[in-house]
């Protein structure tokens, strides 16, 4: 039998190797898109490992007929609007759920979470019919409305999780000192809940930005968002991989930046209800 220090070394090495493999596995699809974006189409066909990088692809996708800038604008406006509506409403609702008992709260929870547990298409069908009637199909407004069905529950769930984690003491002290409930929320709870609220806001922004199904159904032309825009790089001769990769970077990298910002608090919010 090997001595203890020797066995420990082998163990350490094995762990290091496994973790490194996992890290590589995580990065490969990401790297593949990034490298594709900077390659000329020729280089892609030839599967070159070493290539001269080019920014041409980015120039092309922003001009017509692709006009990615429009899609970028749409994505930003839709995601932003969804979050701006969802977060404030979710925050006060989450506060109430966290601090009070309400009659019928179980039913309310079921209602709120109901959209998470059905196939997303179910939500869109009636909206499609309605929007078509009202003539607001293919508008950012309609997309925001449908997105809310997905985002609102997440927002309430996450923010409630964060508020649950804030101790009651300071609130109760403020109430005893004479503040009314609204003042307590404004002056005591919000500052403490801010990291959680921001985390939830960023998370919901990412969800809305990446959202595909609703967008592909509701939008056709004017209100197309970037993920849907990916399909326009299918040409007769095949997929324009260099262009689609460049577009992919525009979708991917801003979200990576945002995700890294919130990654510390993220798990806390997602699992507050479960991990105790």
Residues 77-116 interacting with another protein (rule: CB under 8 A): 85-86, 89-90, 92-93, 95-97, 99-100, 102, 108-116
In sequence order, the 6+-apart residues with CB closer than 8 A to the CB of 171 are: 99, 184, 188, 189
In the bound state with another protein, the residue whose beta carbon lies nearer, of 46 and 187, is 46
- Least Å distance, CB 73 to another protein, is 17
For the bound state, the minimum distance from the C-beta of residue 69 to another protein, rounded and expressed in Å, comes to 18
**Is 187 a residue that touches another protein (CB under 8 A)?**
no
* Residue 101 backbone class (left: φ over 0; alpha: ψ -120 to 50; beta: rest): beta
94, 160 contact by CB (below 8 A): yes
Query: Rounded CA gap, 153 and 110, in Å?
Result: 10
**Interface of this chain with another protein, residues 192 to 211, rule: CB under 8 A:** 206, 209-211
Q: C-beta of 207: minimal distance to another protein in Å?
A: 10
**Are the CB atoms for 246 and 37 separated by under 8 Å?**
yes
Q: Hey, which residues between 126 and 155 contact another protein (CB under 8 A)?
A: 126-130, 132-133, 145-146, 148-149, 152-153
We find the least distance from the C-beta atom of residue 116 to another protein, in angstroms, to be 7
Q: How many residues lie near another protein (CB under 8 A)?
A: 103
Does the footprint of another protein cover residue 182 (CB under 8 A)? yes
Judged by CB, which is closer to another protein: 191, or 256?
256
Out of 69, 168, 173, 259, name the contact with another protein by CB under 8 A. 259
Please pick, from the candidates 78, 244, 246, 265, the single residue that binds another protein as defined by CB under 8 A.
Answer: 244
Span of 31-39, 52-60, 66-74, 189-197 interacting with another protein by CB under 8 A = 31-39
What angle, 0 to 180 degrees and rounded to 10, lies between the N-to-C axes of helices 241-271 and 4-37?
A: 130
Residues 39-78 that bind another protein (CB under 8 A): 44-47, 49
Shortest Å distance, C-beta 56 to another protein: 18
199: exposed, middle or buried (C-beta count within 10 Å: 0-12, 13-18, 19+)? buried
Asked if 13 is part of the footprint of another protein (rule: CB under 8 A), the reply reads no
**178 counts as binding another protein under rule CB under 8 A:** no
Residue choice 60, 77, 120, 192 for contact with another protein (CB under 8 A): 120
Residue 55 CB, nearest approach to another protein (Å): 20
Indicate whether 276 belongs to the interface with another protein (CB under 8 A): yes
Please tell me whether residue 267 binds another protein under the rule CB under 8 A. Answer: yes
């Amino acid at each position: 039998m090997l001595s203890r220090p020797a066995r420990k070394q082998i163990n350490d090495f094995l762990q290091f190797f496994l973790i490194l493999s996992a890290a590589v596995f995580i990065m490969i699809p990401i790297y593949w898109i990034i490298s594709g974006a900077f390659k000329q189409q020729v280089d892609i066909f030839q599967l070159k490992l070493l290539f001269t990088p080019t920014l041409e692809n980015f120039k092309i996708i922003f001009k017509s007929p692709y006009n990615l800038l429009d899609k970028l604008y749409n994505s930003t406006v839709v995601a932003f609007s969804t979050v701006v509506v969802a977060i404030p409403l979710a925050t006060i609702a989450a506060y109430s759920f966290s601090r009070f008992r309400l009659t019928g709260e179980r039913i309310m929870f079921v209602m709120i979470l109901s959209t998470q547990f059905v196939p997303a298409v179910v939500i869109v069908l009636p909206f499609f019919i309605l929007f078509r009637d009202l003539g607001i199909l293919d508008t950012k407004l309609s997309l925001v409305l449908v997105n809310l069905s997905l985002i609102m529950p997440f927002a309430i769930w996450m923010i409630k999780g964060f508020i649950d984690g804030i101790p009651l003491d300071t609130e109760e002290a403020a109430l005893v000192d004479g503040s009314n409930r609204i003042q307590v929320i404004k002056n005591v709870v919000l500052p403490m809940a801010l990291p959680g609220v921001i985390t939830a806001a960023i998370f919901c922004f990412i969800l809305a930005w990446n959202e595909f199904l609703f967008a592909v159904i509701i939008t056709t032309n004017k209100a197309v968002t970037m993920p849907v825009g990916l399909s326009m790089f299918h040409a007769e001769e095949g997929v324009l991989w260099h262009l689609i990769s460049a577009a992919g970077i525009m979708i991917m990298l801003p979200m990576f930046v945002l995700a890294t910002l919130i990654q510390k608090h993220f798990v806390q919010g997602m699992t507050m209800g479960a991990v105790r």
